[in-house]
């Protein structure tokens, strides 16, 4: 074939494209990513917490973060509010089913040699209830007691350090704005999962947006 012909260049482009469509892209992605950090509610388990009702019960304004509002309360009020919040979290943890594809995705990620972590704003008791009920294991699992919590990036940065991975080679998956803010501030790949398909206004802040968790291996090139 004449290297100067248009057909030669078309064939070359087709060949290069086939490399990335096939296993070569997956191999490159496995070299790129070292870990995946997951959120819990709405990502690993179905979102059963009614945050509107919780805010009303605790007297928290709609625009305020619940945990941030509790931190600003007087000690006695905060203790009572934390107890009520924990009751809601435990009720959800004892009832919530896994989101579709969770086991398969965790297996694919671990099978590719990537570390896995769970970072949640839930209390330790609620987090451990979910892990025990569903028999899930992560290389690292941190509840809010490990603070600082999302949207601060500290938890992600500390998790990466403990796992021995770089933030730039870590993907963070969650269903809420705080997950995206924390991942972006940490310099990780932010992946927004919106199972409802309703794209929130902050979706453009995420590096990737997926509708189903089982899309994640494709994002990672696994």
Residue 68 and residue 140 in one domain: no
Q: Is residue 193 situated within a structural domain? A: yes
Contact between residue 33 and residue 170 where contact means Cβ atoms under 8 Å apart: yes
Residue 114 and residue 205 in one domain: yes
SS3 7: helix
Residue 122 and residue 164 in one domain: yes
**Chain Cα centroid distance, residue 191:** 7
Nearest-angstrom CA–CA distance, 178 and 151:
4
Q: Is residue 70 situated within a structural domain? A: yes
Nearest-angstrom CA–CA distance, 180 and 186:
10
CATH code of the domain covering residue 37: 3.40.50.1000
Residue 64 and residue 144 in one domain: no
Residue 164 and residue 105 in one domain: yes
Q: Does 12 have pLDDT greater than 60?
A: no
Q: Is residue 8 situated within a structural domain? A: no
Residue 165 and residue 199 in one domain: yes
Between CA 179 and CA 188, with CA 183 as vertex, the angle to 5 degrees is: 150
Which band of pLDDT confidence, cut at 50, 70 and 90, is reported for residue 23? very low
Q: Is residue 15 situated within a structural domain? A: no
The pLDDT score that the predictor gives to residue 31 is 53
Q: Is residue 115 situated within a structural domain? A: yes
> Residue range 115-139: average pLDDT?
98
pLDDT in tens, 86-101: 999 999 999 999 999 9
Short-list 132, 108, 106, 103, CA closest to 117 = 106
pLDDT in tens, 154-185: 999 999 999 999 999 999 999 999 999 999 99
pLDDT in tens, 142-158: 999 998 999 999 999 99
Residue 77 and residue 142 in one domain: no
pLDDT in tens, 198-221: 899 999 999 999 999 999 999 999
For all residues of the chain together, what is the average pLDDT? 88
CATH code of the domain covering residue 55: 1.10.260
| pTM as predicted | 0.84
How many domains is the chain built from?
2
Residue 148 and residue 192 in one domain: yes
Share of the chain above pLDDT 90, in %: 82
Nearest-angstrom CA–CA distance, 134 and 163:
23
Nearest-angstrom CA–CA distance, 107 and 113:
10
Residue 158: domain span: 33-46+97-220
Residue 185 and residue 127 in one domain: yes
């Amino acid at each position: 074939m004449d290297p100067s012909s248009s057909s030669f260049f078309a064939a070359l482009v087709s060949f290069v494209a086939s490399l990335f469509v096939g296993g070569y892209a997956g191999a490159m992605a496995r070299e790129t990513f070292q870990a995946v950090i997951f959120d819990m509610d709405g990502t690993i388990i179905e979102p059963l917490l009614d945050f509107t009702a919780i805010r009303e019960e605790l007297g928290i304004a709609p625009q305020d973060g619940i945990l941030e509002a509790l931190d600003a309360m007087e000690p006695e009020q905060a203790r009572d509010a934390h107890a009520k919040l924990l009751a809601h979290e435990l009720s959800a943890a004892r009832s919530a089913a896994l989101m579709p594809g969770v086991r398969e995705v965790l297996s694919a990620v671990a099978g590719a040699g990537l570390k896995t972590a769970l970072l949640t704003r839930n209390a330790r008791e609620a987090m451990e209830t979910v892990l025990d009920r569903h028999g899930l294991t992560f290389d690292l699992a941190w509840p809010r007691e490990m603070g600082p919590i999302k949207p601060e990036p500290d938890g992600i940065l500390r998790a990466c350090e403990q796992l021995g991975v770089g933030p730039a080679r870590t993907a963070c998956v969650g269903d809420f704005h705080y997950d995206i803010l924390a991942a972006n501030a940490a310099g990780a790949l932010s992946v927004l999962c919106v199972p409802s398909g309703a794209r929130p206004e902050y979706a453009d802040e995420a590096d990737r947006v997926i509708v189903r968790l089982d899309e994640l291996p494709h994002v990672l090139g696994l």
